[in-house]
Amino acid sequence: MALTKEQLEEQKKDAVELLFSGPQTLGFAKAMFFGHFRHELLFPYPRLSPEEGYHVEKAITDLREFAATKMDPVAIDREAEIPLDVVVGLGNLGILGMTAPASFGGRDFSQLAYTKVMEAIGGICSSTAVFVNAHHSIGIRALLLFGTPEQQKRWLGPLCHGSQIAAFALTEPEAGSDAANVQTTAVPSPDGAGYILNGEKRWITNGGIAQVLTVIARTPGSGGNRKKEITAFLVTPDMPGFEVVEKRMAKTGIRGTATGRLKFTNMFVPKENLLGKVGKGLKIALTVLDFGRTTFGASCTGAAKVCVEAACKHALSRVQFQQPIAEFELVQKKIAFMAAHAFAMEAVTSNCASLIDRNFDDYMLETAMLKVWSTEALWKIVNDTIQILGGKAYFLDQPYERMMRDARINMIGEGANDVLRGFIAVVGLKPLGDYFLKLQDAAWHPWRGLPSLCGFAWNQVKRRLTVPEVPVASAVLKPWATSLGKRVRQFALAVQRQIFRLREAIITRELIHERIADAACELYASSCVLARLDALLQSSDANTPEGKKDFLTGEYYLRFSDNRIGSILADMDGKLDSATLAAAENTLSIYRNGSQTS
């Protein structure tokens, strides 16, 4: 049943309060909705310092040596468990606390450096990559960002060393992508010493094996209307009332991870375990997910590179119809897509990590774009790898069926992609919509609003006659920079047209959201690739064989993406939308009243 107008208004109010409270900045992604290209946020392309680069290379070398003898992804998948000696080994290597301060036993790695290590893990074992991501990127990270000095002193050391494991417990039977719908309650205890928690959590990575869990629960609220709030707590399994209902839930992929189901029954949590402020739990959840989505992109990059290598080697050696299958155009088409998107994944991941390292206030759209775009690209890459290898890839003596099973969860976990598309579109539209509301007010008060109206008219003329500047140092890239600037302008005008056409109804038009989000993702990815290519051409690697191949790979991505952006923008109105919805309703109606039973 469709939501009522009052329910929609309430959801809108909650979203605005959560996402747009406090000072608002115009990051790179949001600026695109206005037709701006904030080049200073992407250029120059982020690089590790020589010193940090040395430590990263050593960390990756040590990791690969450890993995070769201790980390068996086949056994991890078959036994549905990451062995304890692997966890201990990862702790000894410093991987479980890489971005934590050295004073707590961490390695003080930047987010960019950490993504390079996560890329390597993603290419070895997806289960291990998800385990590390849950422990560090959203587990430890919550303590680093929001923990008190006392909480950090108590838990960060053991977590960094790997003697304790962290988990982030958000998902419930009624709260998945709708994170605000958590039903676990946290009521202040009568003596004021803490909170009493009751509820269930499910599908929690590391949930059944963790010694420290960040638990998101609903508190009564302290405002005048006593509205319930979402709050975060640090929970340990030794608390009376903590129950592991299911330690390792059987699942399709990433089978080595311990995905748990938990229950809290009158569980007392001392007030000292409150993480952050009361009522700010959802903000904490969204913030740490930004970090998790960045390392998600890194893991996808590592898996994509493995697929590129496997597909190319097989295509060159497999002979059919008296020639290597690498000579066939449909195989070449797949390999071109795979290589270009692996190159672009690394570029987008590095940019998102750099935004975090440079302490920008607003990168939630960029990390959401990375998550949606990279996970769907990897899914196609894995599928195409299986197609190129044919029947060989379908059998269990090869890793590709496992990679396919592992890759599927990426489009569901840490924000389902369809939900994130709506998030990207609506959050991107909000500042633009607010601007137009101010213009509407100015139109009602023409004398007072004359400067605003004149400014709008001038901007409309300027936007149609000029192209946003996309500065590149390399002359060979200037045509691509101009083309990208034109696409940003076209995107902004297309979005503006949808706002004028649909007005407030645009908030619920998900098919429009999908096209807006997909175009924005491609524009952002192309911008990151352009920055990477510009840095490449200015480096000493430009004329090396590898550098020349990287340039051609990146340039192909720009061609591919430009074509896709053009296709999306050409059908922004959605010629098939009405027919699509009618066809869906026709099919749903068969089952809606229970008339179809089989």
Tokens of 586: 């026709």
Q: Which amino acid is at 87?
A: V
Active site residues: 414
CA 100 – CA 136 distance, rounded (Å): 9
Below-70 pLDDT ranges, the chain? 1-25, 222-227, 433, 435-465, 595-598
Residues in the chain: 598
For residues 191 and 153, is the Cβ–Cβ distance under 8 A? no
pLDDT of residue 453: 47
Question: Is the backbone peptide bond immediately before 44 cis, with ω within 30 degrees of 0?
Answer: yes
pLDDT of residue 226: 52
- Residue 430 host element (H or E): helix 417-444
Q: Compute the half-sphere exposure of residue 391: CA atoms within 13 Å on the CB side of its CA.
A: 0
- With 0.95 as the threshold, say if the pTM is over it: no
What values do phi and psi take at 267, rounded to 5? -85, 120
Please give the share of the chain, as a percent, with pLDDT higher than 70: 89
pLDDT digits (tens, 9 = 90+) for 251-263: 999 999 999 999 9
What values do phi and psi take at 527, rounded to 5? -65, -40
If we measure between CA atoms, which residue out of 523, 510, 375, 450 comes closest to residue 42?
523
| Domains with residue ranges and CATH for the chain | 28-42+419-583 (1.20.140.10), 50-165 (1.10.540.10), 168-281 (2.40.110.10)
pLDDT of residue 518: 98
pLDDT digits (tens, 9 = 90+) for 296-348: 999 999 999 999 999 999 999 999 999 999 999 999 999 999 999 999 999 99
Q: Is 185 helix (H, G, I), strand (E, B) or coil?
A: strand
pLDDT of residue 361: 81
β-strand 274-275 against 259-270: which pairing, if any?
A: unpaired
